[in-house]
Structures are given as structure tokens and as C-alpha cells.
Structure 1
Amino acid sequence: MSMAPAAQPAGDPQLVTILVSGANGVGKSSFVSALSEIEVVTTRRLASDPARILPTATTVRVDWGRLSIARDLAADLFALPGGRTFDLLWEILARATTGLIALVDSTRPDTFRETKAIIEFFQRLRPMPYLIAATKQDHPNAWTPDELRPALRLPEQVAVLPCVATNRESCAQVTLELIDRILAAPATAPRA
């Protein structure tokens, strides 16, 4: 992996911010927990819904972790709650992000459409480097990345990588691939 980070003050690494998103139950929290070198900061709250739009027991959870990539490069990882109900939260976090890892549960075809909608939402909001991590590749009925590409109608330049969200090495390979794509992309400053 070739990295040419921008000049930073001595001691301060360049920081990339990566959103980890996907449908409910795809392994977002597990992915961040598997990678983070610090204790993962988790906010878990029962959603307040006076309009009764959400199911009664909906939990909002955001996980944050950090991973050092090199002496002068680190990644903040944010696992976002699944479901389009949280569009506003997604919009706020996307303003300051540099890349997206969209997790898809490769054992649940019923989540493929939602995964595609999540990718399209983020790309409309703020185009950024992204890739797909096909989770649960350790399950016997998992779709392969090659099978998922046409199901998600993804162009060839979008990487679809196998992943086991509880396995550090698997998650690291996905994250490093995205960081390579972030560093190779034309510079676009995140919006504040």
C-alpha cells in the first residue's frame, strides 16, 4: 500500500474518517470492534419517537473506534445505525467523512436492496470512495463477492471483498483497500 499523506504537524497523524454502514444485523459494530486499537466508544439509546414512526423497541447505536495505519496515518471508524430512519444522522456524519465501507450480509438476499439504497444515498449526498464488504463469508450459504456484484448492480470499479466482521485480519484487509482508494482519489475536502 503506497501512502503519501499530506504534511502534518509533528506528532499529529493524518486522519481519515470511515463510515461503516449497512442494513440491520450485518456486523457493523463487530467490524469496528474487531479493528479498533482503543476501547470502542458506543452510544446506545432507546430511540425517542413521539410520532410513533419507529418500532417501539428501536435502539440507536453509534460505535467509534480508531486504527493506526502507519506512524503518520490513522483511521476513525464509525459504525452507523442501520435503516433509512436515521438519514439525518447519516447526513451529519457524512459531511466530515472520507470513505464508506458498506457491509452486506451475504447470507440474507432480503437485505441486498437496502444495501444498494444506502450506497446510493451516501453517493448522492457526498460522492466519496467506497467499497462493499460481503460479511458472513464463513457461513456455508454465503453468496460470494462475484455473485453479489450483479445482485447489487455494481460497476466493475467498485470492490466487493469477502469479510468476516468478527475477524480482525479480514476487517483490516477491507479497511486497507478503502484507504488505498481514499489516498488515490482526487482530494476533496470534507464539508464541515
Structure 2
Amino acid sequence: LRTEAVMTSASAGIDDLSHTGGKTTTTVAMDFGRITLDDDLILYLFGTPGQDRFWFMWDDLVRGAIGAVVLVDTRRLADCFPAVDYFENSGLPFVVALNGFDGHQPYRPEEVREALQIGPDTPIITTDARHRADAKSALITLVEHALLARLR
């Protein structure tokens, strides 16, 4: 199962590609993954596109969720405001993952916390989502944060 498709002219004027000039594919609807941690413990992962035309799916996808990772494209920081607002308003624990590329992080987590007005209890981490170890670290941070939130 693949959720990537070749971009067509249908996205012209809709998707902002100004920071991703070489991009030729896009996610169709959403990404899905499954990680079996133990025989009776399975982690289901749903990745939603950030464009507002897909927001209708979010309420259904978060039903039963333990938390969310807001993956922030540091080249387009303002694009994550709606996702941060959504999860703050829903009360669902979330972490903010600043997705740098090739080790380049243009903003420090403290700068992003201030710019997005994120409370001190919400973890902000740096990551490169293309790297397995970074993705694993983001998920571990989320699970730890969600467990702590349930204990409060």
C-alpha cells in the first residue's frame, strides 16, 4: 500500500511548493503505519496532510488516540498554527517536532515555543523525520508525555 502519488496540475494554486522546488510526489489523503511493540501492544500511526481541506478527517482520526506529534516544517513555521490550536483545544497530549533537514535547525525550541505560544508542559523536540532514530525518539517522547498527562 502506498499513499504517495505524482503531483499533477490539480494542485497548482492550492499547494505551496515555494520551499520544496524539487517535490514531485504528494501524500494522498493520509499516511498509515502500524508498529507491533509486543504481542498485545500495537501502535497505529496516522499521518494527516496539513492543508485545511483535510481538516474534516482530524476529529475521526483522534478518536481513541493517546496523543499527537505536530511535525513542523521549519521552512514554513506559520503553517503549524492550526494543528497546535486544534490539539490545545482538544486536550489531547501532543509534542511539537521541529523537522530540520540535514541537521539544519533554523530555530531553537525556545524560540518556537514563544512564537507559537506553546505552554511549558508541551515538549518541543528537534528531529529529521527521514531518520528512523529521530522518528522513534519523537514517538517515545509522545508516549512519555501522554502517560504523564494521564497521571496528573
TM-score, with length taken from structure 2: 0.74
Q: Which of 68, 74, 84 lines up with 2:42 in the alignment?
A: 74
For residues 12-161 of structure 1, what are the structure 2 equivalents within 5 Å?
Answer: 42=3, 55=14, 60-106=28-74, 108=75, 111-124=76-89, 126-140=90-104, 142-161=106-125
CA distance 1:140–1:98, shift in 2 (3 Å): closer
Q: Relative contact order, CA 8 A, sep 6+: which one is greater?
A: 1
Query: Given residue 92 of structure 1, which amino acid in structure 2 is its aligned partner?
Result: D
Q: Which deviations, in whole Å up to 9, do the C-alpha atoms of 1:147-187 show, x marking residues without a partner?
A: 22212111111100010011000110110111112233328
Q: Distance in 1 between matches of 2:62 and 2:6?
A: 21
Following superposition, the deviation at residue 116 of structure 1 comes to 2.1
CA distance 1:180–1:59, shift in 2 (3 Å): closer
Q: Distance in 1 between matches of 2:99 and 2:135?
A: 10
Following superposition, the deviation at residue 138 of structure 1 comes to 2.8
Q: Which of 152, 175, 179 lines up with 2:143 in the alignment?
A: 179
TM-score, with length taken from structure 1: 0.60
C-alpha RMSD of the superposition = 2.9
Q: Distance in 2 between matches of 1:170 and 1:152?
A: 22
Following superposition, the deviation at residue 59 of structure 1 comes to 6.5
Higher mean Cα deviation, 163-172 or 74-83? 74-83
Identity %: 26
Task: Give unpaired runs (5+ residues) of structure 2.
Answer: 16-25
Q: Distance in 2 between matches of 1:85 and 1:161?
A: 27
Q: Which deviations, in whole Å up to 9, do the C-alpha atoms of 1:62-87 show, x marking residues without a partner?
A: 11011233454321111101112212
- Paired position in structure 2 for 1:26: none
Query: Given residue 174 of structure 1, which amino acid in structure 2 is its aligned partner?
Result: A
Normalized per residue, the structure richer in helix is: 2
Tell me if the contact between 1:43 and 1:61 (Cα under 8 Å) persists in the aligned partners. Answer: no
Query: Given residue 42 of structure 1, which amino acid in structure 2 is its aligned partner?
Result: T
